[in-house]
Amino acid sequence: MKYHLWTIGCQMNQADSWRTGEGLDTLGWQATSNPEEADLVLLNTCVVRQSAEDKAYGRLGSLRPLKRQNPQAAIVVMGCLVGKDTTALEQTFPFVDAFLRPSDVEGLLEFAVERWGAGSSSGAAASQPVPVCCYVPVMEGCDKHCTYCIVRLRRGHGRSRLVETIVEEVRSLVERGAREVTLLGQNVDAYGHDLPGRPDLADLLRVVHDVDDLWRIRFLTSHPSDMSERIIDAVAELDRVCEYVELPVQSGHDLTLKRMARGYTVGEYRRLLSRIRERVPGASVATDVIVGFLGETEEHFQATYDLLAEERFDVVHVAAYSPRPGTPAAQLHDDVPSLEKERRRRLVEELQEQIASEINNRLLGSTVEVLVEEKHKGKWKGRTRSNELVFFEDGSEWRGKLAQVDVTWAGPWSMQGEVRGFPPG
């Protein structure tokens, strides 16, 4: 039996697809990159912006003839396209066999077992190698009420997994070759707030830090209102926790932040950033920005631009505001024209390209420590602790190893270098 996975969207979707693939492998299935030869086609979808939703619908439509040719094949749709009520989806896409809520990996596996039985080699994949860097979801859903965001509507309120369950999963991944884990949550800083005894992300980081043979830990995405001093302390004190945070600011103007219901001011964000940079020297910070949100004037946009120019983030993910059905913002007139949104988006991208080039250029001639993940187009590919992408060529086997690399070329999005050897010690 063969399965084909198609995934777009956030790291949570990538983690869900990986877990789905692993579950099916355990049932004796085989992955295929060709949907036409698959018995099961899974689309793991995202609707955070209209463009992602359009891609999901486009892909779904393209599967209609496939189902006609091979009625035995099953088509399953999972992810944020699927809300509580699936009636409209079922009517529009009658050839889809099942619609599953976001992250319902169990549901997918149950569907496969019900339809095709438990498979032939149960347990076979449990000891297969895993990626060097793995995602581990630690909580599902979100309790924030950002007015533009559809995630809470589709993924529900925040539900944390138990500390023991997470640590057990991390241990098992490390036994199978993982050396880095990224703990995932839509608002990962809220981890544990719903659990008995209220363990927080700092507690979780400390426990995961004790897992033998795990070298690096990351977590994302943070929320400025929930990133506590305890979390910053954990990053500062735990040597396996990378000096890297993803802290979306969304806008550099207080009025826009208020309209977005983000719950902090630009001043508060800047103070938090200074605090992180003071406690964690050399910390790499990524942020997200939405341009062209409701009522965003040139002056408001300029404030965002100035913030990015002054704070010099390592990474900026910029998106043009896209009204999402069911969100409070979607009830108001989307008043910034598309061309203007696009102009603002491009300005941010150009600024960030320049900043990222300057940041990476400073590393030219230095030696960085890279955790090597895989070979990519003939070169070894890995990341530094601050999440910079590094490539190098070498005939030896480097997968899953730490390499000291002399940086010989630096661009805005990646660097290249020559390997020197293993890190000291």
Question: Among candidates 38, 45, 55, 46, which has minimal Cα distance to 4?
Answer: 38
Of 322, 352, 386, 387, the one binding ligand SAM (CB under 6 A) is 322
Minimum distance of ligand SAM from residue 328's CB (angstroms): 11
Residue closer to ligand SAM, measured from CB, 43 or 178? 43
Query: How many residues line the site for ligand SAM (CB under 6 A)?
Result: 19
290 binds ligand SAM (CB under 6 A): yes
d(CA 267, CA 402): 39
Minimum distance of ligand SAM from residue 306's CB (angstroms): 18
| Span interacting with ligand SAM, options 128-136, 147-155, 211-219, 362-370, rule CB under 6 A | 147-155
Residue closer to ligand SAM, measured from CB, 248 or 417? 248
Minimum distance of ligand SAM from residue 234's CB (angstroms): 19
Pair 251, 302: CB distance under 8 Å = no
Find the binding residues for ligand SAM in span 235-264 (CB under 6 A).
248, 250
The secondary structure element, H or E, covering residue 235 is helix 229-237
391 binds ligand SAM (CB under 6 A): no
Residue closer to ligand SAM, measured from CB, 10 or 272? 10
Burial string for 188-205 (b: 16+ CB within 10 Å, else e) reads: bbbbbbebeeebbbbbbb
Minimum distance of ligand SAM from residue 281's CB (angstroms): 25
Of 161, 324, 341, 383, the one binding ligand SAM (CB under 6 A) is 324
Find the binding residues for ligand SAM in span 44-63 (CB under 6 A).
48-49
Of 40, 96, 149, 405, the one binding ligand SAM (CB under 6 A) is 149
321 binds ligand SAM (CB under 6 A): yes
Helices (H) and strands (E) in the chain, counts: 13, 18
Q: What share of the chain is helix, strand, coil (3-state, %, to 5)?
A: 40, 20, 40
State whether residue 41 is helix, strand or coil.
strand
CA–CA distance from 107 to each of 82, 103, 362 (Å)?
13, 9, 48
301 binds ligand SAM (CB under 6 A): no
184 binds ligand SAM (CB under 6 A): no
Question: Among candidates 60, 90, 88, which has minimal Cα distance to 75?
Answer: 60
The secondary structure element, H or E, covering residue 420 is strand 415-421
Nearest position to ligand SAM, beta carbon: 288
d(CA 80, CA 77): 10
Whats the size of the chain, residue-wise?
425
Scan for tokens 């463009």, then name that residue.
51
Residue closer to ligand SAM, measured from CB, 150 or 232? 150
Residue closer to ligand SAM, measured from CB, 26 or 256? 256
State whether residue 40 is helix, strand or coil.
strand
219 binds ligand SAM (CB under 6 A): no
Scan for tokens 């207080």, then name that residue.
254
Q: Which residues, 6+ apart, have CB-to-CB distance to 371 below 8 Å?
A: 132, 133, 179, 180, 215, 216, 382, 383, 401, 402
360 binds ligand SAM (CB under 6 A): no
Residue closer to ligand SAM, measured from CB, 123 or 325? 325
Sheet arrangement for strand 98-99: 30-31, 2-7, 40-45, 74-79, 98-99
Residue closer to ligand SAM, measured from CB, 221 or 384? 221
Minimum distance of ligand SAM from residue 173's CB (angstroms): 23
User: Six-digit token pair at 9?
Assistant: 């969207």
Of 10, 181, 232, 359, the one binding ligand SAM (CB under 6 A) is 10
Give the binding site for ligand SAM (CB under 6 A).
10, 48-49, 142, 148-149, 151, 186-187, 221, 223, 248, 250, 288, 290, 319, 321-322, 324
